[in-house]
Amino acid sequence: MADFKYLTIAEARQSLDQREVSSVELTQACLDRINQVEDRVKSFVTLTPDLALQQAEEADRLISSGAAGPLTGIPVQVKDVMCTQGIRTTCSSRMLENFVPVYDATAVGKLLEQGIVLLGKGNMDEFAMGSSTENSAFFPTHNPWNLERVPGGSSGGPAASVAAGEALFSLGSDTGGSIRQPASFCGVVGLKPTYGLVSRFGLVAFASSLDQIGPVTKDVADCALVLNAIAGHDPRDATSLPLDKKDYTAALGSGVEGLRLGVPEEYFVEGMEDGTRGAVEAAIEILRGMGANVKPVSLPTTKNALACYYIIAPSECSANLARYDGVKYGYSYQDADNMWEDLEKTRQHGFGPEVRRRIMLGTYALSTGYYDAYYLKAQQVRTLIREDFARVFQEVDALVAPVSPTVAFALGEKTSDPVQMYLSDVCTLPPNIAGLPSMSVPCGFDQGLPVGLQLIGPHLSEETLLRVAYAYQQETDWHLATPEL
């Protein structure tokens, strides 16, 4: 069988439509690849090979009948924070280790309506809380470029599966960088859409005002195709924006001539690795050479984003995770002397250390006497961060910046120092706080590891970000590099 593992969606679509390959063959090739590398990469929490082959057979019937959509027959992994009917959804937590939803998340349902093939569920930091996928209750995921390094987090499984050629694309979620940072670390494309563009219905909540579902793909054209499928209004999500559907592939060939791109000086933080800085600066010069008008800009409240995020996100997590009490579903401790002790032990044993840490931080920030000093003040800072972006976007069409101050770090390097781990997200947090779209595009290598270029735009500017990213990929070939496994 031909080697299909690094096909893009567009290439696979052409081969499927021209009957050069069947969806069953493509799916089997992915399953073979998973069997070949998964014991080293560990990107899947749950595999669904029988379902995948069944869905592939149905996809082949749709293709034969001429009823195929852009994603029909394409094998995909979904981060294990999105509900999948009849398939366990663990959030990589002991708390939900045996939880099997009775419905699909809206984003997953939209993919299934197009006839995708679900290979399984992707590993992650527990309840999406982490930057390395080392907080999974089951096992850490390894970076396909260097198995001794982290893949990033919390969508480490989705990014690693695409980079390793196990899936043609994946769905991740991004609360403070959880799509973009793993995409950067693994050398793939990741997009966090505008807050409200993609339904959060069926996404297990971490921080409801920050979470957003988005694609992880091999290139920018694929990213636009997946966004076409998952974007759109959903009445079941109160935060979903009432917008008409768009074709995000339409703007891809427009180039960057005349576009105004800002370079925020605050994103080139102290301690940034020289190789990462060099790769990002070289990418910016390429965009300048392509005709973009590049200028320095300032976002002074960026320095407060990390502190702001680590009040708002834990506060919302404290409220959202209060539902896991062992009564209706999930892990339940049964050996205590009374109900209250059962509840306490359920949460003690069901949640891992990082989740417990954030619950306690959030509960403290929301407690009587501290609410005004912490949570209310963080919301006021959030407003200032939004105003900073609004002011800058009067001058420029998009921002270009690093995704992370470093390349992928070693497994175990930061697990004992939560503050150093949190600093991994310093460049990705502000767009979440402001609800803005942002994406990571491969732009080079340092120490043999991928570096990502971050693009940030005003609300609902996904077309502009995809346009810039696509134009950049036409001038470079970083996205074509693949790891040796």
For residue 202 the two structure tokens come to 């069926």
Tokens 């339904």, located at residue:
199
For residue 155 the two structure tokens come to 């969508």
Query: Which of 178, 199, 315, 461 is the catalytic position?
Result: 178
Crossing angle of the two packed helices 220-230 and 462-475, in degrees rounded to 10: 160
Query: Which of 154, 184, 199, 240 is the catalytic position?
Result: 154
Active site residue 254: no
Cα–Cα distance between 306 and 256 in angstroms, integer?
31
Query: Which of 42, 79, 192, 414 is the catalytic position?
Result: 79
Active site residue 154: yes
**Integer CA distances (angstroms), 21 to 16, 17, 388, in order:** 5, 8, 50
| Residue 334 CB-density burial (10 A; 0-12 exposed, 13-18 middle, 19+ buried) | exposed
For residue 59 the two structure tokens come to 């996809």
Cα–Cα distance between 247 and 263 in angstroms, integer?
28
Cα–Cα distance between 426 and 408 in angstroms, integer?
15
Query: Which residue type, as a one-letter code, is found at position 350?
Result: G
**Integer CA distances (angstroms), 152 to 5, 143, 280, in order:** 22, 8, 18
Query: Which residue type, as a one-letter code, is found at position 77?
Result: Q
Active site residue 440: no
| Residue 273 CB-density burial (10 A; 0-12 exposed, 13-18 middle, 19+ buried) | middle
Positions of E strands within 253-388: 260-264, 293-297
Provide the annotated active-site residues: 79, 154, 178
